[in-house]
Copies of this chain bind each other. A is one copy, B any other.
Amino acid sequence: MQRVRRLLSRRSVRRSDGMFVAEGAKVLQVALELGAEVESVYLAPEATGAVVALAEAAHQQGARVFDLGPGVLERVAGTVSPQPLLAVVRTPAASTDVLHHARFVVVCVDVRDPGNAGTLVRSAAAAGADAVVCAAGTADPFNPKTVRASAGAVLRLPVLQDLEADVALEMLGAAGLRRVGAVPAGGHRYGEVDWVAPCAVVLGNEAAGLDPRILALLDDTVTIPMARQVDSLNVSMAGTVLCFEVARQRSNLRAMDRTRAAGGQQGYGVPGAEREMRPW
């Protein structure tokens, strides 16, 4: 349990061991579904039948399972109402190669709160992003709080965590993605922007937003118009709105493509060629 405690509390240990701790049945279930390597599972005496069955499934995939005495998990987890299960899971490999062919990437720059970072990873995955960059300065995506807020989505898509923001933005630009930053005021209205072409949604710090040094590296900025004098949304809500606008526009395009392919609507150019240009 000493190791689990260190993996929970120390990013350096997570990095050197290449492992992280999944708290709760939900994240372990995602790990098993996706075939992630589960090294070990720790069960509190309060674990219910469904949770025990999940640990059994992990065992069948090669994990060691340990039953803990009363109160042991609570002392290790250090949260107020811990889940009755912890699992040590291998951190999925993620290479910058993914950026070269990506059509939708979310870049977090100095997003400090693990809850926000996790929520953004969850939205990015659900909206069909190819990768998330948690640039240096952002909360560790494999911090237990981030993993929990992501509902296990940190396992669903490549999450890059070592790049400096400027390096990531340069790579994304070279790969042909439009780099679009979210700003609280003065950007283009996000609903009037074309999100179908390859793009990176760039989100900044909770208090300070995007640094001028980063803004200078972007191709465009967008703002979410707001009513009732509300001056801002928090970064995870703003990022969620932008991610789903990307998905909405691309999904509408696919629906139009299907209509055209079925001969339902002609006269908009060669359907095949257009689909090839926009393979998402």
Contact = CB atoms under 8 A, between A and B. Distances in A.
A126 interface: yes
A36 B255 CA distance: 48
Q: How many copies does the complex hold?
A: 2
Given A228-B157, A240-B240, A252-B191, A123 B233 contact: yes
A122 B128 CA distance: 26
Interface stretch (A12-20, A86-94, A242-250): A242-250
A245 B251 CA distance: 14
A97 interface: no
Contacts of A240: 233, 237, 240-241
A5 interface: no
A153 B230 contact: yes
Given A122-B233, A122-B237, A227 B247 contact: yes
A39 to B, nearest CB: 23
Contacts of A237: 119, 122-123, 236-237, 240
Interface in A112-137: 119, 122-123, 125-128
A127 B226 CA distance: 6
B123 A227 contact: no
A225 interface: yes
A228 B126 contact: yes
Nearest to A241: B244
Interface string A237-280: 10011001101100110010000000000000000000000000
Contact of A126 (B33, B126, B227, B248): B227
26 contacts: A119-B237, A122-B230, A122-B233, A122-B237, A123-B233, A123-B237, A125-B227, A126-B224, A126-B226, A126-B230, A127-B227, A128-B227, A153-B228, A156-B228, A156-B229, A156-B230, A190-B248, A191-B248, A191-B252, A192-B252, A225-B247, A236-B237, A240-B241, A241-B244, A244-B245, A245-B248
